Amino acid sequence: MSTRHILLGLLASGPSHGYDLKRRHDARFPQARPLAYGQVYTTLQRLVRDGLAEVGGTDSDGGPERTVYRVTDDGARELSQWAGEIAPPAPFVTNEIFAKVVVSILSDGDPAGYLRAQRAAHMERMRELTAVKTAGDADLATVLSADFALNHLDADLRWMTTTAARLTTLTAEVDTA
Amino acid sequence: MNNGDNAAGPLLTGRRLVKAHGRTEALRGATVTLDAGEILAVTGPSGSGKSTLAHCLSGITRPDAGSVTYAGQRLEDLTEKRLSELRRTEFGVVFQFGQLIPELTAADNVALPLMLAGAGRAGARAAAGEWLERFGVRGQEESRPGEMSGGQAQRVALARALVTGPRVVFADEPTGALDSLAGEQVMTALVHTARETGTAVLLITHDAQVAAYADREVRLCDGVATPQGVAA
């Protein structure tokens, strides 16, 4: 995930200072890990160094004075190129669930029991996300982000269901061999 | 009379249900409970007995063994007439598709259950209009099912299932024939209305994203419910 491009994208909707960018990032990507202030300022400095953003003055807004950044023409070009580039369709998909099932099979553990428990945890999280998404005050960013998480959890679940069924078949084959 | 509220127990209980279709046992001792106002998802692979379970719990099918208790009454003790009355007044049903009468308009489809219960046509149609509005399909009163989108028709079907003020709605794959956005609108409408009216919903689905609208999930596998049924 490219923090610099996401910050560039936020700057593209209008000049902004670091604190505001962090706040807007966390609001736009509510299911993502919140950005650390340090990361925002370091990234902004690098964008300026690379000519993709520039300092556009200061803004005090009644509080302490803050540096306002804006996107440059080079920055706008870079952003447009990045946004249109395809992301590699995950050539090496792996995650903890997959690894645990494989290890559990190898070590004669209880993969079916693990899958049942993991499924229950996934469903619980999906219920939470559905409640967030269908709450009357959910804005578009919240709905999109909950949808994204829900669809990924659903993909995990479908894989887990198929795997549980395969394990039953596999066990039956081993038992009758 | 025990109306199922004063007892702390569930509103609807299916206990150790067994049901065979020919030589295939669809249910093999499934136990499931539904509390008043609860939204329960029944999930499981195709052929796991989900629909048979809904049919037994709603009194459409009598189980070969086991019992179904609704608000303190055992369905197997009821006469066919009383059971049919109970189904008409206490239960609402929504299927995947095809349950609307194609020759009738949306308003008449929704008014029909009230008219069958003895209401006059004008009053029934007025009530139908309110329910269509509630499900976001006001303006479709005079459309016939074939003239509406799948999602609209399904919301009309929900209005029809809820118009009599049932305490339990059985929804069997209610979004099965819809694309994901239309399905989401149907589920949101169903869940919001059920919560507002305190209606319990037994939601049959093979789709985890649909099941996630429920408060709780019971998973059927080979005709047996796991893991949340009451202790056998």
Phi/psi region, residue B165 (left: phi>0; alpha: psi -120 to 50; beta: rest), is: left
Which pLDDT value is given to residue B229? 35
Between chain A and chain B, the number of residue pairs with CB atoms below 8 A apart is: 32
Report the pLDDT value the prediction gives residue B1, as an integer from 0 to 100.
43
Tens digit of each residue's pLDDT (9 = 90 or more) over B11-42: 999 999 999 988 888 999 999 999 999 999 99
Q: Is B94:B135 a contact under the CB 8 Å cutoff? A: no
Residue type, A60: S
pLDDT for residue B215: 95
pLDDT digits (tens, 9 = 90+) for B57-90: 999 999 999 999 999 999 999 999 999 999 989 9
Nearest partner of B54 among B9, B10, B100, B93, judged by Cα: B93
Contacts of A146 in chain B (CB under 8 A): none
Decide: B123 and B86 in contact? Cβ < 8 Å.
no
- B59 within domain boundaries: yes
Instruction: Report pLDDT digits (tens) over B105-160.
Output: 999 999 999 998 899 999 999 999 999 999 989 899 999 999 999 999 999 999 99
Asked if residue B164 belongs to a domain, the reply is yes
- Chain A 124-153, CB below 8 Å of chain B: which residues? 126-127, 129-130, 134, 150-151, 153
Amino acid at A86: I
Q: How far is CA B204 from the centre of its chain?
A: 9
Q: Which amino acid is at B81?
A: K
CATH number of A3-84: 1.10.10.10
Kind plus residue range of the DSSP H or E element containing B91: strand B91-94
Per the domain annotation, does B3 fall within a domain?
Answer: no
User: Residue B157: which CATH number?
Assistant: 3.40.50.300
Q: Decide if B1 is inside a domain.
A: no
Strand pairing partners for B39?
Answer: B201
Q: Domain range for residue B187?
A: 12-226
CB nearest A130 (choices: B45, B213, B227): B213
At A5, list the tokens.
């491009």
Total of domains in chain B: 1
Of B87, B212, B192, the closest CA to residue A128 belongs to B212
Min Cα–Cα distance to chain A from B44, Å? 10
ipTM of the modeled complex: 0.81
Find the CB nearest B209 among A116, A150, A165: A150
- The shortest CB-CB distance from B212 to any of A116, A130, A158 is to A130
Distance CA B37, CA B197 (A): 8
Residue of B nearest to A158 (CA): B208
Both tokens assigned to B121: 């046509």
Each domain of chain A, given as residue ranges in start order, spans: 3-84, 96-176
Q: What is the largest CA-CA distance in chain B?
A: 49
Q: Looking at chain B, which residue has its C-alpha nearest residue A149?
A: B209
